[in-house]
């Protein structure tokens, strides 16, 4: 069949174990229903295809998104495999032959932990097929243009060639902006006095107040050391803001951590040595604390509300999210309300500093609340300034102590803000989830390596595609219909409430597609649907007017419109099991997953290249294509629609999945 | 009795009012029999601020008297000169709003405070404001209430074979808290009902509340059977329940107490249906809290929401400690169970706890919302509330005498109805298309149930409402909410009817704190209200031009 052909071309089978038949995919809800099918291991994905000829539902899991594979003890019915993904999904398989299970386990363990960059998806799959398209994809964003947008360079801030060829700091970008009065000796001297040479440079310039946000790493001050150049650099930054008489130095670490660093010859600025600085500690914990905290929040699995809230509290996750947001709020207020420039650092200046600076930008500048703006912001504060993506997100099998959900927290802060200001952001939750996914997936070259220099040395622009134009192309799925460029929430600085009750668990991220839960159902999605439907109706109305007496096909009832994304909200279906209302002592609810993330977009399943570049989801679902007889409607929620078949069924054959 | 007896000082000038979302304003405060009226003297044309005294849950006062008797100074110094003796009254309202009044003059302050104290806690029903409220757009000649049992029955043609309306309670003698007419199995005559009623607490024998067309099964509700310590039986009660499952082999009794609580109830004359006496009925226990436990949960939750500390840990621990969300979860889960029995297993269900006036109503009405698309429309939902709460005898006056701020010793207060509204909000949040009404309706109801211009939530039963003349001398809230312009405001712009059951998720992350209610006086809520407006505009923009075009085409 068509699909088989697709596989035979897609799969670069691992010798010995490519295809395993009669595998059961177990629904991890209470029902523990199993579907029988065939498991394929390709070079990039684990694919499970249902045997049921009616649906032939497919479940794809990208190897680079596999976090762990467990093998619980073998049972008489076969061997279990539990695959956990980096986007918090769980796939449980029952393999009849123990030998097969061992093989799958071994190969997945290897495939999911690449040792070389060249094994990663973006470098191993047909990356350079179309040179022009590839080059174009990399020119989609222009960082320098964004600096120009905020009015830089100007008579206060100028570009410096100091770091060309990464001479002064190999983790910084080559193009940097510094105060006009900062001479090369000052730059070099300051760089020598800063951890890893990361001297203070401009990241955001606020045109209304002329105040700026600068970033750097901790000074090598120890207990008494000082650097004249570094002090001059700070002075220059203050001078670059004509209206103010002091600057804030925001150390995003807890004060105790900063003090401990002094013993190692590092530390923080001594207020006696620097003229007119105000030092402020924010207290964001380090990457190890954050890693453990996230693990705890992932592990909360309880049907009891009391235990859930207790687990949420003891994970500390929301407390950390609040700390990160508080840092952003402090900086934004200093810049916009006091008109005072801020220099931000942590230890190395690439984790907490990136979080705090980028959040402050989101709060200050409405542009960063648009899709393109957020892309640019990530490109600037995270990618160009040397956030260690490959280490933090475990792209290659490496030191587990380097791994930490730093950008997860930034993305979540933006989400928390969007919950508080529903009209202020151009994008929706799905955009944020997709963004975070790609940080981990390595399907695009953007986040490989740990610095601009590493990426240049790997020649990624010649060998991979950039993510941004792909996201932009799919922007229809990511639009927040409530966004109004002229709405009061959209204007000027956001002043979020950071009272603890404003923070809640991000269900869309951590409890994704839990089978027993109703799918996402933000009014926003529904509105997009309403709007699309209206457009479609208008279209049909036009057609109707053109071809007047065309029979009864379109009676104008909503139910018969094709293409409405199954908006529904719930597994309101008769055949899908309701939740477990019965047992008082429920077993672990185990959020089920197996769910695809996005619809397939390749129009021709036989076209290998398009299929590859379009499979941007780790887990995708082709069932709508295979069973809907060529109906090419795009259903952004197709993953979820699977669980409301009866409901979507009432809307006609839009998904091809009919109620049983 | 005259209200004026309570009013020692009717007017005070130069009072400063502080309330959420507004700058403090100076104006004149006036106390009337039912309201506090604050008018901004000579200020903008804004209407005076009106607060129903009934809405005030707690009042705190503090007075300062710096220079002994200060009258001399304040009367000569006009308003420019700050009065040296002054007082501050903090009003904590049942709608969770907190207001502050700065009143010049200690004596005035104390007088006002004492007037508010006595007038806000009047207990005579016929003195309450609904008996005086006469809006121009409503007439006392209008029908009070949306529908009667008879009308409801008449609409459900499909049950006419098996069920009938019984007037056995027409003089409220069989059950003082039941309405005059109830729906019962056809084969059970009134005499049997009278005997069965004697076997149920408060005479609340099993009656029909919902018929599920798809499976032909029903939801019934009642109070506990009075089997007592020596396991009494009642043949008529057994017959009545037998008639409910006539022909099918099984029915479920969902007891909203734990089995231990049900056992204990026998010691005080209550009890449960034993398996041997009620063949075919299977009993399931689900413990729902009510009464004092629930009231204290609300108090703790509101206290947590007012805590301005900046520790996330402390907030989460207080939220957990209040147990409110656990009550929401249990209520939805039990309602889901009832709906599951009816819809998926095809068996009839009887719901009861002990009195049958609180948790039974909560569970039966939530189950209906899950199952019945008719109850999810604006009118349908109000109809449901009227049948299952007002007519069914939820003792509103007792339950809602005080809310979360009151320092008064608790008697019968319990926010069962607020819990219902929260559960409905959770349903509407999980199924934003399925409900014909919107969050503002739920918020309005949460406010009206404690303090209202209307008579709907007065009294504890239909009988009391008749005796006190509520139906003749007050207006009905539900009628008023269904007027055209109100209807618009309370409709869900995204509503699209679905015939299917809406099964709520009861996983903890799926249930959220109802910010719109518990945090409605914070800025956060303002942003959400704005978003609602944007949604409304969007939908109307999307549909208006289209509808016009369609009309033109059709024409």
Q: Give tens-digit pLDDT for B456-485.
A: 999 999 999 999 999 999 999 999 999 888
Binding residue per annotation — A347? yes
Measured between alpha carbons, how far is A472 from A464 in angstroms, rounded to an integer? 17
Report which listed range, B33-42, B152-161, B242-251, is most confident: B152-161
Say yes or no for a CB contact (<8 Å) between A582 and B496: no
Instruction: Say whether pLDDT at A560 is over 80.
Output: no
Quickly tell me which residue has 């979360």 as its tokens: B404
Q: Which helix (H) or strand (E) holds B91?
A: strand B85-93
Q: Which of the 8 DSSP states describes residue B135?
A: -
Lowest mean pLDDT among A19-28, A591-600, B403-412: A591-600
Extract long-range pairs of A432-436: CB within 8 Å, 24+ residues apart. Answer: A433/A87, A433/A508, A433/A509, A433/A512, A434/A471, A434/A478, A434/A597, A434/A598, A435/A374, A435/A378, A435/A411, A435/A471, A436/A87, A436/A407, A436/A408, A436/A411, A436/A509
Binding residue per annotation — A350? yes
Instruction: Say whether pLDDT at B236 is over 60.
Output: yes
3-state class (DSSP) for residue B78: coil
- Give me the sign of the Cα torsion angle B271, B275, B276, B278: positive
* Angle at CA of residue A212, ends A208 and A215, nearest 5°: 160
Crossing angle (nearest 10°) for helices B312-322 and B291-306: 160
Catalytic machinery residues of A = 346
Q: Least CB-CB distance to B329: which of A305, A487, A516?
A: A305
Structure tokens of A367?
């542009």
| Bridge partners for B88 per DSSP | B62, B102
Cβ-Cβ contacts under 8 Å, A501 against chain B = 304-305, 315, 319, 513, 515, 519
| pLDDT mean over B161-175 | 92
| pLDDT mean over A482-501 | 86
CB-based burial, A264-293: b 16+ in 10 Å, e otherwise: eebbbbbeebbeebebbbbbbbebeebbeb
Band the pLDDT of A3: cuts 50, 70, 90: very low
Quickly tell me which residue has 């990136």 as its tokens: A354
Band the pLDDT of A127: cuts 50, 70, 90: low
- Among A72, A97, A332, A336, which Cα is nearest to A209's? A336
Q: Are A343 and A312 in contact (CB under 8 A)?
A: no
Measured between alpha carbons, how far is A26 from A35 in angstroms, rounded to an integer? 7
Q: Where are the domains positioned within chain B?
A: 3-72+81-122, 149-500
pLDDT on residue A128: 59
Measured between alpha carbons, how far is A356 from B119 in angstroms, rounded to an integer? 54
pLDDT on residue A656: 28
**Cα–Cα distances in Å, from B467 out to A482, A513, A516, B204, B473?**
51, 54, 49, 20, 11
pTM: 0.86
**Is some CB atom of chain B closer than 8 A to the CB atom of A501?**
yes
Q: Which helix (H) or strand (E) holds B550?
A: helix B523-554
* Angle at CA of residue B182, ends B176 and B187, nearest 5°: 125
Tell me the longest C-alpha to C-alpha distance in chain B.
88
Cβ-Cβ contacts under 8 Å, A315 against chain B = none
Interface of B with A in 478-537 (CB under 8 A): 494, 496, 498-513, 515, 519, 522-524, 527-528, 530-531, 534-535
Distance (Å) from the alpha carbon of A26 to chain B's nearest alpha carbon: 20
**Is some CB atom of chain B closer than 8 A to the CB atom of A650?**
yes
Instruction: Give the best residue of A296, A314, A499, A532 to mutate against chain B (max B CB count within 10 A).
Output: A499
How confident is the prediction for chain A on average, in pLDDT?
A: 78
Instruction: Give the best residue of B506, B518, B519 to mutate against chain A (max A CB count within 10 A).
Output: B506
Say yes or no for a CB contact (<8 Å) between A500 and B501: no
Report which listed range, A611-615, B82-86, B470-474, is most confident: B470-474
Band the pLDDT of B86: cuts 50, 70, 90: confident
Band the pLDDT of A132: cuts 50, 70, 90: confident
Instruction: Say whether pLDDT at B259 is over 60.
Output: yes
Cβ-Cβ contacts under 8 Å, A482 against chain B = 531, 534-535, 538
CATH (one of 3.40.50.9100, 3.90.190.10, 1.10.760.10, 3.90.1150.10) for B149-500: 3.90.190.10
pLDDT by residue (tens digit) across A310-350? Answer: 999 999 999 999 999 999 999 999 999 999 999 999 999 99
Q: Least CB-CB distance to A482: which of B496, B504, B535?
A: B535
Strand ranges for A491-586 from DSSP E: none
CB count within 10 Å of CB A426 equals 23
Quickly tell me which residue has 């009817």 as its tokens: B497
Helices (H), B176-217: 190-198
| pLDDT mean over B135-158 | 88
Report which listed range, A112-116, A488-492, A537-541, B176-180, is most confident: B176-180
Instruction: Give the best residue of B305, B316, B434, B502 to mutate against chain A (max A CB count within 10 A).
Output: B316
Instruction: Say whether pLDDT at B91 is over 80.
Output: yes
**Cα–Cα distances in Å, from B490 out to B382, B443, B453, B483, B484?**
11, 10, 18, 10, 10
Report which listed range, A130-139, B38-47, B136-145, B295-304, is most confident: B295-304
Instruction: Say whether pLDDT at A527 is over 60.
Output: yes
Instruction: Say whether pLDDT at B233 is over 50.
Output: yes
Instruction: Say whether pLDDT at A16 is over 80.
Output: no
Measured between alpha carbons, how far is B259 from B286 in angstroms, rounded to an integer? 8
pLDDT on residue A613: 28
Share of chain A above pLDDT 90, in %: 50
Say yes or no for a CB contact (<8 Å) between A534 and B546: yes
Structure tokens of A470?
């792909």
pLDDT on residue A363: 97
**Is some CB atom of chain A closer than 8 A to the CB atom of B543?**
yes
Higher pLDDT, A223 or A559: A223
Cβ-Cβ contacts under 8 Å, B501 against chain A = 572, 574, 578
Instruction: Say whether pLDDT at B328 is over 80.
Output: yes
**Is some CB atom of chain A closer than 8 A to the CB atom of B320?**
yes
Lowest mean pLDDT among A506-510, B66-70, B338-342: B66-70
Instruction: Say whether pLDDT at B30 is over 50.
Output: yes
Measured between alpha carbons, how far is A516 from A505 in angstroms, rounded to an integer? 18
Interface of A with B in 273-312 (CB under 8 A): 302-306, 308-310, 312
Measured between alpha carbons, how far is A411 from B518 in angstroms, rounded to an integer? 27
Write the class of the CATH domain B3-72+81-122: mainly beta
Binding residue per annotation — A399? no
How confident is the prediction for chain B on average, in pLDDT?
A: 88
Interface of B with A in 116-135 (CB under 8 A): none
pLDDT on residue B63: 81
Cβ-Cβ contacts under 8 Å, B512 against chain A = 504
Structure tokens of B360?
């039974």
Higher pLDDT, A108 or A158: A158
pLDDT on residue B551: 52
pLDDT on residue A103: 83
Instruction: Say whether pLDDT at A7 is over 80.
Output: no
Lowest mean pLDDT among A437-446, A521-530, B273-282, B319-328: A521-530
Instruction: Say whether pLDDT at A622 is over 50.
Output: no
Measured between alpha carbons, how far is A163 from B346 in angstroms, rounded to an integer? 75
Residues 6+ apart with CB under 8 A from A15: none
Measured between alpha carbons, how far is B270 from B259 in angstroms, rounded to an integer? 13
Instruction: Say whether pLDDT at B154 is over 50.
Output: yes
Higher pLDDT, A631 or B13: B13
Distance (Å) from the alpha carbon of B453 to chain A's nearest alpha carbon: 33
Helices (H), B344-400: 359-371, 378-385, 396-399
Q: Are B69 and B155 in contact (CB under 8 A)?
A: no
Phi, psi for A158 (deg, rounded to 5): -130, 155
Share of chain B above pLDDT 90, in %: 55
Q: Are A104 and A20 in contact (CB under 8 A)?
A: yes
| pLDDT mean over B406-413 | 85
pLDDT on residue B65: 64
Extract long-range pairs of A320-323: CB within 8 Å, 24+ residues apart. Answer: A320/A284, A320/A285, A320/A289, A320/A290, A320/A293, A320/A409, A321/A409, A321/A412, A321/A413, A321/A416, A321/A503, A322/A498, A322/A500, A322/A503, A322/B312, A323/A282, A323/A283, A323/A284, A323/A285
Quickly tell me which residue has 């022909």 as its tokens: B247
Structure tokens of B212?
């599920």
ipTM for this prediction: 0.89
The CA dihedral of A568, A570, A573, A574, to the nearest 10 degrees, is -150
Q: Going edge to edge, which strands form the sheet with B11-18?
A: B49-52, B35-39, B25-31, B11-18, B98-104, B85-93, B56-65
| pLDDT mean over A421-441 | 93
Band the pLDDT of B222: cuts 50, 70, 90: very high
Residues 6+ apart with CB under 8 A from B415: B294, B295, B298, B399, B400, B403
- Give me the sign of the Cα torsion angle A259, A264, A267, A272: positive
């Amino acid at each position: 069949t068509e699909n088989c052909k697709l596989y035979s071309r897609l799969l670069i089978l691992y010798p010995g174990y490519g295809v395993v038949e009669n595998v059961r995919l177990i629904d991890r809800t209470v029902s523990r229903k199993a579907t029988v099918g065939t498991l394929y291991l390709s070079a990039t994905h684990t694919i499970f295809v249902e045997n049921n000829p009616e649906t032939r539902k497919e479940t794809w899991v990208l190897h680079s998104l596999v976090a762990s594979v467990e093998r619980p003890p073998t049972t008489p019915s076969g061997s279990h495999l539990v695959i956990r993904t980096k986007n918090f999904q769980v796939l449980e398989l029952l393999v009849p032959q123990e030998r097969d299970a061992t093989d799958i386990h071994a190969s997945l363990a290897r495939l999911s932990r690449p040792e070389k960059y060249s094994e990663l998806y973006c470098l191993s799959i047909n990356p350079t097929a179309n040179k022009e398209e590839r080059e174009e994809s990399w020119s989609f964003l222009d960082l320098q243009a964004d600096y120009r947008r905020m009015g830089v360079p100007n008579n206060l801030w100028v570009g410096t060639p100091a770091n060309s060829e990464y001479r002064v700091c190999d983790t910084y970008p080559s193009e940097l902006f510094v105060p006009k009065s900062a001479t090369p000796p000052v730059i070099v001297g300051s760089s020598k006095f800063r951890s890893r040479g990361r001297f203070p440079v401009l990241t955001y310039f606020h045109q209304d107040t002329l105040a700026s946000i600068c970033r750097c790493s901790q000074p090598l001050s120890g207990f008494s050391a000082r650097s004249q150049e570094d002090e001059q650099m700070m002075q220059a930054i203050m001078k670059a803001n004509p209206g103010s008489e002091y600057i804030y130095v925001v150390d995003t670490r807890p004060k105790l951590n900063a003090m401990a660093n002094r013993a190692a010859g590092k530390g923080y600025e001594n207020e006696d040595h620097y003229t007119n600085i105000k030092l402020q500690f924010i207290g964001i914990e380090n990457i190890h604390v954050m890693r453990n905290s996230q693990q705890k929040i992932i592990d909360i699995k309880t049907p009891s509300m009391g235990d859930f809230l207790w687990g949420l509290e003891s994970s500390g996750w929301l407390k950390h999210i609040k700390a990160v947001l508080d840092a952003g709020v402090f900086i934004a207020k200093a810049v916009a309300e006091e008109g005072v420039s801020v220099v931000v650092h942590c230890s190395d200046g690439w984790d907490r500093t990136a979080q705090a600076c980028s959040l402050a930008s989101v709060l200050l500048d409405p542009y960063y609340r648009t899709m393109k703006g957020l892309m640019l912001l990530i490109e600037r504060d995270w990618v160009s300034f040397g956030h260690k993506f490959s280490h933090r997100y475990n792209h290659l099998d490496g030191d587990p102590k380097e791994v930490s959900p730093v950008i997860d927290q930034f993305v979540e802060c933006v989400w928390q803000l969007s919950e508080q200001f529903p009209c202020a952001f151009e994008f929706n939750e799905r955009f944020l989830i997709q963004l975070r996914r790609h940080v981990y997936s390595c399907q695009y070259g953007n986040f490989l390596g740990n610095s601009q220099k590493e990426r240049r040395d790997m020649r990624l622009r010649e060998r991979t595609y950039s993510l941004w134009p792909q996201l932009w192309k799919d922007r229809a799925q990511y639009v927040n219909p409530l966004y109004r460029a002229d709405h009061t929430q959209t204007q000027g600085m956001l002043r979020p409430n950071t009272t603890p009750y404003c923070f809640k668990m991000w269900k869309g991220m951590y409890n994704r597609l839990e089978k027993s839960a109703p799918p996402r159902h933000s009014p926003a999605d529904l509105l997009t649907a309403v709007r699309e439907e209206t457009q479609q109706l208008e279209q049909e109305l036009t057609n109707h007017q053109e071809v007047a007496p065309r029979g009864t096909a379109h009676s104008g009832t909503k139910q018969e419109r094709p293409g409405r994304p199954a908006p529904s909200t719930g597994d309101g279906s008769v055949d899908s099991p309701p939740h477990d209302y019965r047992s008082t002592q429920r077993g672990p609810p185990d959020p089920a997953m197996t769910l695809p993330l996005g619809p397939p977009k390749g129009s021709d399943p036989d076209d290998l290249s398009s299929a590859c570049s379009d499979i941007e989801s780790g887990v995708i679902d082709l069932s709508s294509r295979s069973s809907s007889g060529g109906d090419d409607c795009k259903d952004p929620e197709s993953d979820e629609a699977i669980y409301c078949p009866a409901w979507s069924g009432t809307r006609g054959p839009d998904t091809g999945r009919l109620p049983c | 009795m005259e209200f004026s007896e309570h009013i020692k000082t009717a007017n005070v000038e130069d009072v400063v009012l502080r309330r959420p979302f507004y700058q403090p304003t100076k104006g004149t405060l006036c106390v009337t029999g039912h309201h506090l009226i604050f008018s901004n003297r000579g200020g903008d044309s804004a209407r005076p601020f009106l607060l129903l005294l009934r809405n005030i849950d707690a009042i705190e006062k503090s007075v300062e008297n710096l220079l002994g008797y200060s009258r001399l100074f304040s009367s000569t110094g006009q308003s420019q000169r700050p009065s040296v003796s002054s007082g501050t009254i903090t009003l904590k309202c049942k709608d969770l709003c907190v207001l502050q009044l700065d009143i010049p003059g200690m004596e005035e302050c104390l007088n006002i405070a004492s007037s508010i104290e006595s007038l806000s806690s009047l207990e005579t029903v016929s003195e309450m404001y609904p008996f005086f409220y006469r809006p121009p757009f409503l007439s006392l000649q209008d029908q009070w209430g949306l529908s009667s049992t008879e009308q409801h029955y008449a609409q459900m043609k499909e049950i006419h074979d098996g069920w009938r309306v019984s007037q056995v309670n027409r003089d409220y003698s069989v059950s003082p808290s039941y309405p005059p007419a109830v729906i019962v199995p056809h084969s059970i005559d009134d005499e049997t009902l009278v005997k069965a009623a004697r076997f149920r607490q408060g005479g609340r024998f099993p009656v029909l509340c919902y018929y599920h067309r798809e499976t032909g099964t029903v939801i019934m509700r009642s109070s506990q059977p009075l089997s007592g310590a020596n396991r009494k039986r009642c043949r008529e009660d057994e017959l009545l329940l037998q008639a409910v499952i006539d022909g099918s082999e099984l029915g479920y009794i969902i007891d909203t107490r734990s089995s231990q609580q049900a056992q204990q109830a026998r010691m005080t004359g209550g009890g449960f249906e034993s398996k041997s006496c009620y063949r075919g009925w299977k009993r399931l226990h689900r413990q729902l809290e009510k009464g004092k436990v629930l009231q204290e949960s609300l108090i703790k939750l509101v206290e947590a929401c007012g805590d301005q500390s900046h520790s996330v840990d402390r907030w989460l621990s207080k939220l957990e400690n209040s147990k409110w969300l656990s009550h929401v979860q249990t209520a939805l889960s039990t309602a889901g169970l009832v709906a599951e029995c009816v819809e998926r297993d095809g068996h009839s269900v009887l719901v009861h706890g002990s009195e049958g006036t609180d948790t039974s109503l909560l569970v039966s009405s939530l189950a209906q919302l899950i199952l019945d698309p008719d109850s999810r429309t604006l009118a349908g939902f109000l109809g449901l509330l009227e049948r299952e709460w007002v007519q069914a005898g939820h003792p509103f006056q007792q339950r809602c005498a005080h809310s979360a701020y009151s320092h008064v010793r608790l008697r019968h207060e319990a926010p069962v109805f607020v819990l219902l509204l929260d559960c409905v909000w959770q349903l509407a949040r999980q199924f934003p298309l399925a409900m014909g009404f919107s969050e503002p309706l739920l918020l309005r109801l949460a406010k009206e149930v404690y303090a209202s211009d209307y008579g709907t939530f007065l009294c504890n039963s239909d009988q009391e409402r008749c005796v006190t003349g509520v139906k003749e001398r007050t207006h009905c809230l539900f009628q008023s909410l269904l007027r055209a312009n109100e209807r618009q405001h309370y409709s869900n712009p995204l509503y699209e009817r679905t015939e299917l059951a809406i099964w709520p998720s009861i996983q903890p992350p799926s249930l959220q704190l109802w910010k719109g209610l518990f945090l409605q006086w914070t800025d956060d809520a303002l942003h959400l209200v704005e978003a609602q407006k944007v949604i409304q505009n969007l939908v109307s923009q999307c549909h208006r031009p289209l509808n016009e075009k369609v009309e033109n085409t059709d024409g």
